[in-house]
Structure 1
């Protein structure tokens, strides 16, 4: 029997951010149990993680209140919000590409720490599976 795996303590600090603007960003994910009986709740984590005001059909949440993305360049919040969770489905056997490459000012860069591309390369988040974090 494969032991239930915690999605690593590093998930709590996936963004142990250098700094996102003035304040240090809060831990992105509390350690979630990704095993036998527990499923990750996308909306629950979104609520905790991003202080989501509304994640409805047409509503963009203030996922990041304009973060500093370099020296004077501000991140385009609206563009990032659309892809915050390109979540196919955070259920049994799907993975979510958390962040695609964002546009930060004039140049296109991968997001902070280059982890946003695949913060959770989650093979599956259901029974007898492990979640892997790809720190690129």
Structure 2
């Protein structure tokens, strides 16, 4: 391989790396599949409903109570997909679907009793639930 070919390949690689954040951040919807909203963990949303001007006027619409699932810290990051919020709660990490308009629990799932379920790594908090696209 000569020097010119190597330089071209490195230049192409550099151009791809520069374009990568733009491609990773491109989203077609307001759905929030991952912690941080995208694989670059930017926490960016193109939504314009909440601004610096109206932020102080915001009020809580509802508060979800996970006590029936054994939740104590409520530190899991929810995902927003198909009009529902998904999160985990409790020591055995129930997966919960919540109505984002009302805060009502739609359904929950608890992993069957297995050695892994008996000794969960993060218990009552974590980085949300993986939801396949």
Smaller-chain TM-score bracket: under 0.3
TM-score by length of 2: 0.24
Greater per-residue helix proportion: 2
TM-score by length of 1: 0.24
Bigger radius of gyration among the two: 2
